[in-house]
Structures are given as C-alpha cells and as structure tokens.
Amino acid sequence: GAVVSQHPSRVICKSGTSVKIECRSLDFQATTMFWYRQFPKQSLMLMATSNEGSKATYEQGVEKDKFLINHASLTLSTLTVTSAHPEDSSFYICSASKVDRARDQPQHFGDGTRLSIL
Amino acid sequence: AQSVTQLDSHVSVSEGTPVLLRCNYSSSYSPSLFWYVQHPNKGLQLLLKYTSAATLVKGINGFEAEFKKSETSFHLTKPSAHMSDAAEYFCVVSDGSSNTGKLIFGQGTTLQVKP
C-alpha cells in the first residue's frame, strides 16, 4: 500500500507556458501533501506543504504566484508552474502522508516530473 | 533545530561486500529518522524508519540501520551489496518542531557498486 502517482513524468514546453503536475494518493487518503524541487546532484528542497481544503504553506523564497498549489480532495494535489521560464526547469517531486500532522509517519513519494522549458 | 549530515557524498563498494552509509543528526526532540533511496529519474522509496521503538531497524532489500543516541548517529548498513543497490541514499529526520510532518533531508550519498 501507500502508492503515490505523479503525472506527467516528463514535460517539455516553450517558455511562457503554464504546466500542471498532478499528485495522487492511489490507495490512501492524504490530508497533507508536499511538493519538492530537486536540482541535479542535489538533495530535495521543500517548496510547499499542501493541506486538503486549505491554502498551501510555502517555504521561504518560493513564489506562491509562480507555483500554484491546489489540494482539492484527499487524494489529489496539483502544482501549476505559471508562465514557466528556463530557470524553472527542474525535477519536481510530490509526497503524501497517510495521517495528518504525524511527525513519525513516513512520506510516500511520487516518481517525479522532469520539467524542461525551452 | 533539527539537521542531518551525511558524512560521505560518494561511497564505492564491490558487489558482495558490505555497505556502510553514515548519517549523523541533530535534534532537540526525540527524533523520527528515515532512510530513503532514489534511483535515477525516480522518486524516493522508503527503506526503513526509526520512531523510538527498537534501536536496530530492519528495512527492505536487506538494509538495516542502528539508532545510537549517544553518538547521534543513524548509519545504514547492508551485509552484501548488489548491483541494483547503486543509487542515491538520503538520511532524513522529521521536523519535530512543527508537527507538520515536514522532513529535513541530508545532502545524499551516491552509492556505486562495482562488479
């Protein structure tokens, strides 16, 4: 159990395009989902914490108008990169926790989305 | 504040030999610790977790880790490396200061397995 599906796995698009990435928990309810960004050969950088039915909490330095997060249901969170530019090219990964606000619960990760902006 | 330090950015072993990936943590709280593995262009897979139960934690694929409070360490080991173990490994501590479930990641250790 605890499968997280992320779609699409890869996106290549022109500068100025908005791109939506979906993160779904397939076999459990996820009240909390997390969005990360990973640069080559580096660790994961938390962008925002997404709670179902409320506004996302963004980490310092992450533009909330640039990276729109919606967590409309207990199994789906979306990240929209608005008006993407080449510097937004990266590997984006989502994760989900089974239980709300439980620090000892592991997060379950999607397979990531490789975003390339031309 | 919590932090995690992975002491080696790169570890190279021969197939069939033991693996040791080192991790030290700093935490003001009783920590929850995790090891995740990431294969190229993939998400992270949970190997094992420590949550204040047994100090020796057994995980998947033959990996295990020992929580040593006196040394603030949570090193990952495997008796015999397999070629498929080549990947990036992350030691992770849960941010106990906020109870939001946020994770704090180490910088990662690349494990190379030579035939």
Give mean pLDDT, residues A88-94.
95
Q: Which residues of B touch A106 (CB under 8 A)?
A: 34, 46, 49
A contact residues 32-61, partner B, Cβ 8 Å cutoff: 32, 34, 42-44, 46, 49, 57
Tokens of A66: 């640039």
Give mean pLDDT, residues B38-64.
91
Among all chains, which residue has been given the structure tokens 């040394």?
Answer: B71
pLDDT of residue B76: 98
Distance from CA of B96 to the nearest CA of A (A): 6
Q: How far is residue B26's CA from residue B30's CA, in Å, rounded to a whole number?
A: 10
Query: What pLDDT, in 10s, does the model give residues B18-37?
Result: 999 999 999 877 788 999 99
Query: What pLDDT, in 10s, does the model give residues A12-40?
Result: 999 999 999 999 999 888 888 999 999 98
Q: How far is residue B59's CA from residue B63's CA, in Å, rounded to a whole number?
A: 5
- Statement: residue A77 has pLDDT above 80: yes
Binning pLDDT at 50, 70 and 90, where does residue A99 land? low
Q: Do A104 and B32 touch (CB under 8 A)?
A: yes
pLDDT of residue A106: 82
Distance from CA of B13 to the nearest CA of A (A): 20
Among the partner-chain residues B94, B96, B105, the one whose CB lies closest to the CB of A44 is: B105
State the average pLDDT for chain A.
Answer: 90
The distance in angstroms from the start CA to the end CA of chain A is 37
B contact residues 51-90, partner A, Cβ 8 Å cutoff: 51-52, 90
pLDDT of residue B99: 63
Q: How far is CA A20 from CA A17, A80, B48, in A?
A: 10, 4, 32
Query: What pLDDT, in 10s, does the model give residues A37-76?
Result: 999 888 999 999 988 888 899 999 999 999 999 988 889 9
Q: Which residues of A touch B99 (CB under 8 A)?
A: 101-103
User: Does B106 lie at the interface with A, CB-CB under 8 angstroms?
Assistant: yes
- Statement: residue B97 has pLDDT above 80: no
Q: How far is residue A74's CA from residue B39's CA, in Å, rounded to a whole number?
A: 28
